[in-house]
Amino acid sequence: MAVRVTVVGAGVLGTMHAWHAIERGHEVVHLEREREARGASVRNFGLVWVGGRAAGPELATAQRARELWEEIGARVPGVGFRANGSLTVVRSAAEQAVAEEVLSRPDAADRGYAWLTPAEVRAHNPAVRGDISGALLCTRDAAVEPRLTLPALREHLAAGGRYTFVPGREVRDVAPGLVRDDHGTSYASDTVVLTTGAWLSGLVRELAPQLPVRRVRLQMAQTDPLGEELTTSVADGDSFRYYPAYAGGALDALRDGHPQPPVPAAHRMQMLMVQRLDGGLTIGDTHEYDEAFSFDVTEDPYDHLLIRAGEILGRPLPRIRRRWAGVYAQCADTTRVVHREQVRDGVWLVTGPGGRGMTCSPAIGEATANEIGW
């Protein structure tokens, strides 16, 4: 039986909840307090990042999300899905030892891992011409276009006649069967799903005062077009330090014997690089965990990223076109994929996927739909 669903929050997590509600035959009103989503859903790499996920529920969620992203991309070409894979480039024996350790594990094939020599790296991705020792290939990784994905999905949903997007409305109250916004408009709802991202104050705090979620701030940038194709996403060896899939004795040895230089250490940095459809590169990122966050966009991390990316590509990067900072919500227990809680009758709060949000949202939305019983 069709039900009336109100989704609050038009980032990727909310949009994927709307997607699954529509897929199951329901009617959706989708509320967003801004005119367009402006948070972490559009301030990210667009990575569908399977390779770095922790074994267990996190990896299973990412693998299922990868399947869903491919299906969605085939139906909605505007999301820009491409199964381009990733290369984590290593430049030292200690980094290579981490790659070799994860390649020896039973789930290596499921993750699409393979080791590439420097010559094989250049054959696979000719734009990588720097002095490297090799790379860990992950064929399961993919990419979408974060600035294009949400409008494309909404356009597709609206074409079916059961989806209504209402921007510029902040929700002030939810109750069984009803949602009220800051314009005084009420929406009759059998189910409400709150996916408010890093907005954890106001109504969210009233509904879940002990929410086990923290906020994380990051800095990123996008360059002018590279002028050649980057056939995969690219990460540096520092990425091993920040993703749970690589934990083990070799990573401990890397951390103990080879600390990061001062700038990446101070800003908890890795180097990730993804080419956009227009040829530009999204590069990043930093991690800031202690609130109140600084309001500055600091230049030292960008200098580091430009140098590191240039070393890997063997050429200077194009001019940075835009820089930005963003904030996402992450479960305080980082082993949890997401926080999902029924906060009132018929009202669910879903938040805290952290840096997994773009990767895992399709599967998180599906799991919510299953738990609610849509």
Q: Which CATH architecture has domain 4-41+147-212+335-372?
A: 3-Layer(bba) Sandwich (3.50)
Which whole number is the average pLDDT over 171-177? Answer: 92
Provide the pLDDT confidence category of residue 22 given band limits of 50, 70 and 90: very high
CA distance 132 to 128: 9
- Beta carbons of 329 and 213 less than 8 angstroms apart: yes
- Beta carbons of 337 and 60 less than 8 angstroms apart: no
Whole-number CA gyration radius for the chain:
21
Backbone angles phi, psi at 40, to 5 degrees: -60, -25
Question: What pLDDT does 2 receive?
Answer: 85
Q: How far apart are the first and last CA of the chain?
A: 9
The segment(s) of the chain belonging to CATH 3.50.50.60 are 4-41+147-212+335-372
Question: What pLDDT does 270 receive?
Answer: 96
Backbone angles phi, psi at 353, to 5 degrees: -70, -15
* Residue entry with tokens 């393979």: 114
Question: How far is CA 181 from its chain centroid?
Answer: 28
The segment(s) of the chain belonging to CATH 3.30.9.10 are 86-139+213-331
pLDDT tens per residue, range 46-74: 999 999 999 999 999 999 999 999 999 99
The CATH code of the domain at 86-139+213-331 is 3.30.9.10
CA distance 7 to 189: 10
CA distance 100 to 126: 23
| 105 CB burial (10 A radius; 0-12, 13-18, 19+) | middle
pLDDT tens per residue, range 232-245: 999 999 999 999 99
